[in-house]
Structure 1
């Protein structure tokens, strides 16, 4: 199981909500980082996740997926629950 950071610039709120819903339903754990980034747990490769998200985007949208691994730091996560999730999985 890997943890990925998924960042996105999605101009249309309907597409954005569709992608966020996909991430919630398709992953084995999810933690919002901020409005344009989410951490997820998945057995899939980053390219597989990207390819599934691409189907919901247009040419103007941007996504970036990277596997987490060695070090992380943050400020002001969305509460204790998210902070604990990030500490455990990043």
Structure 2
């Protein structure tokens, strides 16, 4: 199981909500980082996650998926529970 950071720039609210729903339903654990980024747990490869999300996007949308695991630092996570999730999985 790997942890990935998924970032996205999607200008259409309908597409954005569809992507966020996919991330919630298809991941083995998630932690929102900020409004355009989420940490997820998955057994899939980064390219597989990207390819599935791409199906919900248009040419102007941007998606970035990277496997974490080397080092991480942050400020002001969304509460103690998210902070603990990030410490454990990043």
For residue 64 of structure 1, report the CA deviation from its aligned partner. Answer: 0.3
> Which ranges of structure 1 fall in alignment gaps of 5 or more residues?
none
Residue of structure 1 in register with 2:59 after alignment: 59
Residue of structure 2 in register with 1:82 after alignment: 82
> Which ranges of structure 2 fall in alignment gaps of 5 or more residues?
none
Matching of residues 18-29 of structure 1 within 5 Å = 18-29=18-29
For each residue in 1:31-66, what CA deviation from the matched residue of structure 2 results, as whole angstroms up to 9, or x when unmatched? 000001000000000000000000000000000000
1:50 aligns with 2:47: no
Alignment size in residue pairs: 90
Q: What TM-score results when the alignment is normalised by the length of structure 2?
A: 0.99
Residue of structure 2 in register with 1:2 after alignment: 2
CA RMSD between the two structures? 0.3
